[in-house]
Chain A
């Protein structure tokens, strides 16, 4: 596997379910990101991790809980979501976070909350 991978690619869940999205990067990067893209809206940055420490939490509701166990893996734990949380969730990685560095994106997980 190369680049940034995300699993699952598609997910349907009920509002009472608990699920997790997984992201893995094979680029040796030190920073990872979660973005959300809702229909007809721009990509919105949710979380930033640098060297496994969270450096940004962009006013995201607590029903989204990120986890970064090491620099290659990033999870987004989901619980008691709402239908308006249905969106494409994109993971990205970059070499660092100190300057503007190219972010490499995964293919995304398309989430539907019923």
Chain B
């Protein structure tokens, strides 16, 4: 059973609008969450992360929100740009195994000009 789920396999957004990518998890031991972005023929690259002691972390156009009670996190991209078109993975880890990441299945984001 998948402990980290991204229920939307794809998302299409107009340039300049907000992109919201969602991720749900089941393991209550997870206390650190990351988002990775992947372009075709490249490996995933780290985008942004959040610790469970926070409910929001912002880095430029990217903001990650964490709702621990709902076991849900989301990535907001504002404004979306065509170069943001990629597959986005969320990942989670538990404190006692911090480097053992559990990944979601990914959401393909397409930003239309």
| Interface of A toward B, CB cutoff 8 Å | 4, 31, 33, 40-45, 48, 56, 90, 92, 94, 96-108
Assuming the contacts A41-B105, A42-B103, A107-B41, asked whether A102 and B98 have C-beta atoms less than 8 A apart, the reply is no
Assuming the contacts A42-B103, A42-B106, A43-B103, asked whether A101 and B98 have C-beta atoms less than 8 A apart, the reply is yes
Contacts of A44 in B (CB 8 A): 103
CB distance from B45 to the nearest CB of A (A): 7
Q: How far is the CA of A104 from the CA of B37 in the complex (A)?
A: 12
Complex A-B: 18 CB contacts under 8 Å: A33-B99, A40-B105, A42-B2, A42-B103, A43-B89, A43-B101, A44-B103, A45-B100, A48-B99, A90-B43, A98-B99, A100-B49, A100-B99, A101-B98, A102-B46, A103-B101, A104-B43, A107-B42
Interface residues of chain A: helix, strand, loop or mixed (majority): loop
Assuming the contacts A97-B99, A100-B98, A102-B46, asked whether A42 and B104 have C-beta atoms less than 8 A apart, the reply is yes
Q: How far is the CA of A40 from the CA of B108 in the complex (A)?
A: 12
Contact B43 A108 (CB under 8 A): yes
Contacts of A98 in B (CB 8 A): 98-99
CB distance from B47 to the nearest CB of A (A): 10
Q: How far is the CA of A86 from the CA of B18 in the complex (A)?
A: 36
| Interface of B toward A, CB cutoff 8 Å | 2, 4, 32, 34, 36, 41-46, 49, 89, 91, 93, 98-106
Which among B4, B45, B46, B49 is the interface contact of A42 at CB below 8 angstroms? B4
Assuming the contacts A40-B105, A42-B104, asked whether A94 and B89 have C-beta atoms less than 8 A apart, the reply is no
Contacts of A41 in B (CB 8 A): 105
Contacts of B45 in A (CB 8 A): 104-105
Which among B34, B89, B100, B102 is the interface contact of A48 at CB below 8 angstroms? B100
Assuming the contacts A106-B43, A107-B42, asked whether A45 and B2 have C-beta atoms less than 8 A apart, the reply is no
